[in-house]
Amino acid sequence: MEKKSNNLLVGMSVFGAIFFIFGFATTFIIQLTAPVMAVFDLSEFQAQLLTSAFFIAYPIMSVPTGILVNRIGYKWTVSLGLILMAIGSLVFIPAAKLPSYPLFLMATFILATGVVFLQVSANPYVTAIGPESSASSRLNLTQALNSIATMVAPWLIAVAIFRGLDLPAVPTEAQELAYGLEVATRIPFPFIVMALIVIVVAVTLFLIKLPVIAVDKADTNAKSVYKYPHVLLGAFAIFCYVGAEVGNAGLMVNYLRGGSLQLSAEMASTYAAIYWGGAMVGRFFGSIMFSDIKNGLRKYIYVALVLVLAFVSGAFVTEWNWTIGGIFTGVALVNFIIMQFGAGKPARTLAIFALVAGLLGLVTTFTQGHVALWTVISIGLFNSIMFPNIFSLAVKDLKGGELAGASGIINALIIGGAIIPPLMGSIADNYSYTYAYIVPAICYLYIFFFAVKGSKIRVA
């Protein structure tokens, strides 16, 4: 029993770090669209192609990666993913120095391929390493660690790239050019740091022994999972969720800069960090709610600690603005109260959160000012438990090769992050940013359907 507990602890520790790494990389690319838009003087649609270059790697590489996991195991697949991430990060250096947008797109795809290797390996590993009854809790915990990174990434963009830089309301062509060139010179540093960290983790991974998740070699055919409708419907729910989450975030900086509040790029980026911080806070809540911890003092101490985290993190990214930290904490408390109506059931909680997120998207569309600011930020809190809950519902009752095959198919549909943000960007270019937020509201409606109906297990 002690050895099994140690194996679980080692596996969860390593993959917690892995989730942090690919969470940072993913969010950094999503939020990089605003700096890239400034460097190359792009339209919103063109800028969102950077996000597309990242998420297009999922349909191309996810299914082959699922097969690769069955062939060489989780540890070697993760190691290859880390190496690819390091290579992709280093390619950003010449891309920014030239600067070259095609090279940006190529570096993004290489980096994304590494992330796909990690993502396809990590989710089923965390699901299978412990009891099925607590799979949602473990996934929410690792996703919470992922979300710490997703909050750090936009804050780092605000500090390392946008700090001290801003354009006048009506800039001249020379001012726009100088602004773009200065932004370009600031982009390489975060990628150099990322490459170094990834290399250190890869070396560490070689030096430790991970618990082994058995794969049934007689059942490694990914096609066998197509007989389960809940897998396919769950995959499309992932398409909608990722597209909505990424689209909300990708447009947020320019939406807040051009809206009625007229925020600076640095301040808009810090609010984007709070959006991702909401996902972090909500996932910690989810890890508590979907765990075996009984109602009582211990559970509510954990909840209080998460609220303190919300207060401090909300203030920190806004240069210790305690008022914003307090507002963010209040919204987080509302999120936790609404989570109670889910009664710790993944499908029920997912349905409630999808409805609330859709409503917030619609309110963002039809309001402005501080109301729209906080509704669009609050969507992050309700995104929080969606990926782990959709994933655990979509792979429920699958084992061995079926689990790896289903993970490949589900992760392939992360292509929603490549399709929905450019669609929203096109709407923003041709109409307005506010109308673009109708698209994610529709996505959340489908996720509600999956939670209520599509997640029921049956064989076609």
Domain residue ranges in the chain: 2-208+219-454
Residue the block writes with tokens 């599509």: 454
Of the candidate ranges 53-67, 104-118, 298-312, the one whose mean pLDDT is the lowest: 53-67
Neighbours of 369 (CB within 10 A): 10
Helices and strands (H, E) in the chain, number of each type: 21, 0
- Position 315 scores a pLDDT of 93
pLDDT value at 1 more than 50: no
C-alpha gyration radius of the chain: 21
Provide CB contacts within 8 A for 93, sequence distance 6+. 188, 191, 192
- Position 169 scores a pLDDT of 62
Q: Share the mean pLDDT of the chain.
A: 85
> Could you report the per-residue pLDDT of 205-224, keeping only the tens digit for each?
777 776 666 655 555 555 57
User: What is the enclosing helix (H) or strand (E) of 217?
Assistant: none
- Position 115 scores a pLDDT of 92
Of the candidate ranges 158-162, 236-240, 382-386, the one whose mean pLDDT is the lowest: 158-162
Residue 228 binned pLDDT confidence (cut-offs 50, 70, 90): confident
Q: Are 41 and 174 in contact (CB under 8 A)?
A: no
How far apart CA 374 and CA 326 sit, in angstroms, is 13
Of the candidate ranges 81-85, 142-146, 172-176, 203-207, the one whose mean pLDDT is the lowest: 142-146
Q: How many CA within 13 A on the CB side of residue 169?
A: 4
Q: Which residue has the higher pLDDT, 10 or 451?
A: 451
Look at residue 429 and give its three-state secondary structure: helix
- Position 58 scores a pLDDT of 86
How far apart CA 13 and CA 332 sit, in angstroms, is 26
Burial class (CB in 10 A: 0-12, 13-18, 19+), 229: middle
- Position 118 scores a pLDDT of 87
Q: Are 120 and 388 in contact (CB under 8 A)?
A: no
Residue 23 binned pLDDT confidence (cut-offs 50, 70, 90): confident
> Could you report the per-residue pLDDT of 248-270, keeping only the tens digit for each?
998 998 898 877 778 888 888 89
> Could you report the per-residue pLDDT of 409-460, keeping only the tens digit for each?
887 888 999 999 999 999 999 998 889 999 999 999 999 999 999 888 777 6
How far apart CA 210 and CA 65 sit, in angstroms, is 19
How far apart CA 236 and CA 386 sit, in angstroms, is 13
Q: Domain 2-208+219-454 falls in which CATH fold?
A: Growth Hormone; Chain: A; (1.20.1250)
